[in-house]
Structure 1
């Protein structure tokens, strides 16, 4: 989820060719609506700085729902990973951070790891 279409386009270009299906949202409420669909999400890439409902608040809503509380959230952020932001993100349920501008290799590697974990969980359960 990102409020800037160009950032969503970058993520689609990085992940789509590798077989990852992305569901885009440009706001917290839109992301929460998308997560109501019975899709098997492997991970959520979430921007911190959003108008209205920021990434921290969106993450808290995601964590409060039984259906979505176990989906790993990766914050994609331009505000850095200093201790205040890190503490707030992890308190909201973050599994990891990716700083902007994104490193294509890091994005693909992290998403691939979460997809593999998701597949393993589904095959066991």
Structure 2
């Protein structure tokens, strides 16, 4: 399909750009979600965690841009994004209002939108498997 030839690479590149961009914000200390990340993983020093996570995200984004190791990279992307939901367990007051999981805070919306990125990565994984032999 003609659209697949444009849409699939565009999807991969757009995920990569998001990962590089958000990762660089963490690395430079400019991320608006640094406190959220710290609350999600309170047993790790945020001075280490936030930049390390940022570099990991930049690395995933760069590898996606280069199109190298696509299956491994996409699995890592999915695992990372699924991991963002730990904040609902570790610091629910930061993501839901008044104990009602249907009333999300801005942080909660930020995390829940990751379901779209997870599904996008799964689509790319599925497309890669369709094209691979055996």
Q: Which has the higher strand share?
A: 1
Bin the TM-score by the shorter chain.
Answer: 0.3 to 0.5
Higher relative contact order (CA 8 A, sep 6+): 2
**Highest CA radius of gyration, 1 or 2?**
2
